[in-house]
Chains A and B, each alone.
Chain A
Amino acid sequence: DIVMTQTPLSSPVTLGQPASISCRSSQSLVHSDGNTYLSWLHQRPGQPPRLLIYKISNRFSGVPDRFSGSGAGTDFTLKISRVEAEDVGVYYCMQATQSWTFGQGTKVEIK
């Protein structure tokens, strides 16, 4: 099974400042079809998760452009260019290249 490891697990950030979350997979996420099925999701307290980014760097409909994804192979990053109050919550990476697995989650809170 592919194991997804996120760092950090907790990230206190200042409003208006950037934030970055790393996700590493235990094996390459490049699918036999050439795509890399790495997504990022955001979950606010008491809410279901919502999709932010799919296939490494594609923003889902309605997602602000302050969110960006990058990476390749086994190393991926989610960046928030300027954190806003509504960005608090837990961020998960998820791979769908071989079955489906989530990272442990990274809690983003305001300092």
Chain B
Amino acid sequence: QVQLVESGGGVVQPGRSLRLSCAVSGFTFSSYAMHWVRQAPGKGLEWVAVIWFDGSNKYYADSVKGRFTISRDNSKNTLYLQMNSLRAEDTAVYYCARDSLLCVDVWGQGTTVTVSS
């Protein structure tokens, strides 16, 4: 069945970096755009970034632009989020999600990132 499994979360100090991964199975990864969406503790959902099916286009929320980079390896069925210059306000559960005709139809379970000194 369709599965998205995030990994790479953890506790990191402000200003440091972290890379999240999302391993995908059960569908043709290279045919779909993919998103990262985050949720701060007790808060709502915040869209973070999207990457086109072939990696040709990438878009970011203003809150992460210039600090985060979304990428993918279609040969490994894996989505990534490189997070640099982390701030306390980046603390959240990070979800990867599949885009199907501009609706986000499948979500992973999430990985938790805590930015704290």
Contact = CB atoms under 8 A, between A and B. Distances in A.
A66 interface: no
A1 B59 CA distance: 13
B112 to A, nearest CB: 12
Interface residues on A, range: 20 to 34
Contacts of A39: 103-104
Interface string B37-70: 0000000111100100000000100100000000
B103 A54 contact: yes
A50 B46 CA distance: 15
Contact of A48 (B47, B50, B103, B107): B107
Contacts, number: 54
A63 B29 CA distance: 24
A60 B104 contact: no
A108 B90 CA distance: 27
Nearest to A47: B109
Contacts of B44: 90, 92, 102-105
17 contacts: A31-B102, A39-B104, A41-B45, A48-B107, A48-B108, A48-B109, A50-B107, A51-B106, A54-B101, A54-B105, A90-B44, A94-B45, A96-B103, A99-B47, A100-B104, A101-B47, A105-B44
